[in-house]
Amino acid sequence: MSSPTPRRRPSPAVYRRRRLVALVLALIVVGAIVAGIWVVVAQPWRGNAAETSAVTPSPSVSKSVEASPSASAASQAPAEEDAPDEDAAADDAVAADGAPACNAGDVTVEGSTSQESYGSDQNPEFSLTLTNTGDADCTINVGTSAQSFTVTSGSDTWWRSTDCQAKPSDMIVTLAAGQTVSSAETLSWDRTRSSVDTCDSGDRPRAPGSGASYHLAVEIGGIAANGTTQFFLN
The predicted structure's pLDDT at residue 30: 53
By the 8 A CB rule, do 222 and 187 touch?
A: no
pLDDT at position 184 is 86
**Residue 118: DSSP 8-state:** E
Query: Distances in Å between the alpha carbon of 131 and those of 33, 73, 108, 224?
Result: 74, 15, 5, 12
Q: How far apart are CA 209 and CA 119, in angstroms?
A: 9
The CATH number of the structural domain formed by 73-197+206-233 is 2.60.40.2360
* CB atoms closer than 10 angstroms to residue 142: 23
Would you state the pLDDT for residue 181? Answer: 93
**Residue 152 to residue 159: CA distance in whole angstroms:** 7
Q: Could you give phi then psi for residue 36, rounded to 5 degrees?
A: -65, -45
The CA-atom distances, in angstroms, between 185 and each of 23, 31, 111, 194, 222 are 88, 76, 13, 21, 20
pLDDT at 196: 96
User: CB burial class (10 A; 0-12, 13-18, 19+) of residue 3?
Assistant: exposed
Would you list the domain boundaries of the chain? 12-54, 73-197+206-233
pLDDT in tens, the chain (234 residues): 555 555 666 566 655 666 665 665 666 655 555 444 433 333 332 323 222 222 222 222 222 233 333 333 333 333 333 433 434 444 444 444 589 999 999 999 999 999 999 999 999 999 999 999 999 999 999 999 999 999 999 999 999 999 999 999 999 999 999 999 998 899 999 999 999 999 999 899 999 999 999 999 999 999 999 999 999 999
